[in-house]
Amino acid sequence: MQRYAFTRSKTAALAIASALIFAGCGQDAQTASAGSANAAEAGARAGRMVIAPQYDDAGPFSEGLASVRVGQRFGYIDKIGKIVIEPQFDFAGAFSEGLAHVGSGSNVGYIDKTGKFVITPQAALLDIGGFSEGLAPIRVGDFLTGTWGFLDKKGETVIQPEYEAAGPFSGGLAAVRIDGKWGYIDKQANLVIQPQFVTGGSFADGLASVKVGELLSGKNGYIDKTGKFTIEPQFGDAFPFSDGLADVRVGEKYRFIDKTGKFAFSTEFEFADMFSEGMAPVRIGDEQSGKYGYIDKTGKMVIEPVFDYGDRFSEGMAAVRIGNELNGKFGYIGH
């Protein structure tokens, strides 16, 4: 699972058009099929599989819908697994404030829950994010030289694209990069926290993770909305607070801290994602052969690690993958 400066859910990863997936064949395919069946059975016992593994990729539920990939195209399903917006997009983000950002070819824009574009695709917009607090980050121009600004729900640019990068608004502030450093602006584009950080995450529970020092060797900590450190930079990576806890990387392991910076429990993991609805996905084992399960806020494993990938819970369900990245399928488990 990829991680990003301002969002780490697979929704962000879904915003990148996925490569063509080739199914395995021969003995490998048979082995994978048997393994998938065993894992699906174990998953059904451990986490109550509510939508059978059948999608090539899947994002979290948001506002009752989830983006899924069937072949090379993304569409949306409801909570019983019914396709309600046919797969037709190169990428499809989560619904937020009634809209979802999608793209097809060079056209990108925002659709409503019927699949109708309500903000007309524009060729000039080459990258877009979801709406948050009434605004959405957009990039105008190519990857290397393009600049970021913010769009409102009328499709009007309300903060001009003049930033090297930008994250979503959260708690009234958005992270932006200026001359290689991250700071924070308000909705009037005023710099509230001066650009000074190597990376800058979105605010959550009143705190944002930032990095100081060098990009590769620097340390991460947490600041408040005045820009003051409340948890000093000391972690290899640090991710948003949720349910009062945040996952951080210490050496090669992941642990959880509370808002004072103290470790919430002693258990450590090869990988961990954020808490949501009282549980967090964690991986036991390495990236190639490890398995994902779910812990509660005491660190106890409450859904056994039987999945090849597990996303966070959202609206009572979590996307999981049975099988490897090449021929595995995504379904959803419930609490």
What does the pLDDT read at residue 47? 56
Alpha-carbon distance of 222 to 201, in angstroms, equals 9
Phi, psi of 240 (to 5 degrees): -60, 145
Alpha-carbon distance of 221 to 246, in angstroms, equals 11
What does the pLDDT read at residue 170? 98
What does the pLDDT read at residue 163? 98
Query: Per residue, what are the HEC states of 14-60?
Result: HCCCCCCCCCCCHHHHHHHHHHHHHHHHHHHHHHCEEEEEEECEECC
What does the pLDDT read at residue 180? 97
Alpha-carbon distance of 169 to 134, in angstroms, equals 9
What does the pLDDT read at residue 4? 32
Alpha-carbon distance of 61 to 304, in angstroms, equals 22
pTM above 0.75, yes or no: yes
Q: 157-163 and 165-166: which strand pairing?
A: unpaired
- Angle, CA 288 vertex, CA 77 and CA 72 arms, to 5°: 35
What does the pLDDT read at residue 174? 98
The first and second tokens of residue 109, run together, are 């824009």
Q: What is the mean pLDDT of each run of 10 residues along the chain (335 residues)?
A: 36 33 34 50 66 98 98 97 97 98 90 95 84 97 90 95 97 98 98 98 98 96 98 98 97 97 98 98 96 98 97 98 95 96
Q: Nearest 10 degrees: CA dihedral of 308, 22, 62, 247?
A: 40
Short-list 236, 300, 307, 241, CA closest to 274 = 241
Q: Which residues contact 238 (CB under 8 A, 6 or more apart)?
A: 201, 209, 211, 220, 221, 222, 246, 248, 249
